[in-house]
Chain A
Amino acid sequence: QVQLVQSGAEVKKPGASVKVSCKASGYSFTNSLISWVRQAPGQGLEWMGWINPYSGNTNYEQKFQDRVTMTTDTSTSTSYMELRSLRSDDTAMYYCARDGYNNGWYSDYWGQGTLITVSS
C-alpha cells in the first residue's frame, strides 16, 4: 500500500532553516510527483510547490521561490523540503503528498504531516 512517512516535529529559531523528509513506499517513486502543502494553525491549506522525482524538475509557489528547495533521493525514495530564513508565520504543519495521474495530477496520498514551530 502507498505510504508517505514524514520526519518528526521541530522547533526552530527565526532566521534558521529546516529540512523535512518524506519517505515513500508502495509505489514506483519516479512515476509520480511529490507536492508540498502547509497549514498554519487553524488556517487553510497552502500549496508550496512540487517536484518530479524522475527529472528533479521543480515548480515553486512564487511566495516561497527565494526560500524553498525541494529535492529527492531516488535511491531511498525520499523527498526533502528545505525552508530557509524562517519567520514566526512559517509555523505550520507541513505535508508531503504523492501526485498521481488521473486525467491530471492529483494529491491522492498524503504524509502524516510535520509540525514546524518557529519561535525565539
Chain B
Amino acid sequence: EIVLTQSPATLSLSPGERATLSCRTSQSVSSNLAWYQQKPGQAPRLLIYDASSRATGIPARFSGSGSGTDFTLTISSLEPEDFAVYYCQQRSNWPPFTFGPGTKVDIK
C-alpha cells in the first residue's frame, strides 16, 4: 500500500498570502495524484488531478506541481473561502487509492 504524508499539518496564514502545501508518497505514483478541498460539513471537492490539471470551475489561483513522489499544491493568494482542509490522494495503477492525512489552512 502506498502511504502519503502531508506537511505541514496546519498552515496559519492571512488572506492574500501564498500557501504552499506538500504531499509525499512512499513510492512513485508518476503524475497520478489529486488534490481535494474540504470545508466543514461539506463533501470533498476535486481541485487538481493528474498532479497539475485544474478541475472544472477551479480558480487559477490553485495550481499543482510535481511527479514521482513529491507534489505541491500552491494557492497564490488566499481568499476567505480557501480556508479549509486539503487532502492529496494517489491514483496510481492499482488500488487502494490512499489519501494523505490532510493539511488544514486556517486564518492567522
Contacts and interface: CB of A to CB of B under 8 A. Distances in A.
A50 B96 CA distance: 9
Nearest to A95: B43
A106 B44 contact: no
A112 interface: yes
Given A105-B91, A106-B34, A47 B96 contact: yes
Label chain A's interface by main secondary structure. strand
A110 interface: yes
A47 B102 contact: no
- The B interface is mostly helix, strand or loop, or mixed, namely loop
A50 B97 CA distance: 10
Chain B interface residue number, banded: 20 to 34
A111 interface: yes
B49 A106 contact: yes
B49 A44 contact: no
Given A102-B49, A108-B55, A45 B87 contact: yes
A115 to B, nearest CB: 11
Interface string A85-110: 00000000001010000111111111
Interface of A: 35, 37, 44-47, 49-50, 59, 61-62, 95, 97, 102-113
Given A45-B38, A47-B99, 12 more contacts: A35-B97, A37-B99, A44-B99, A44-B101, A45-B44, A47-B96, A59-B95, A104-B31, A106-B46, A106-B49, A106-B55, A108-B56
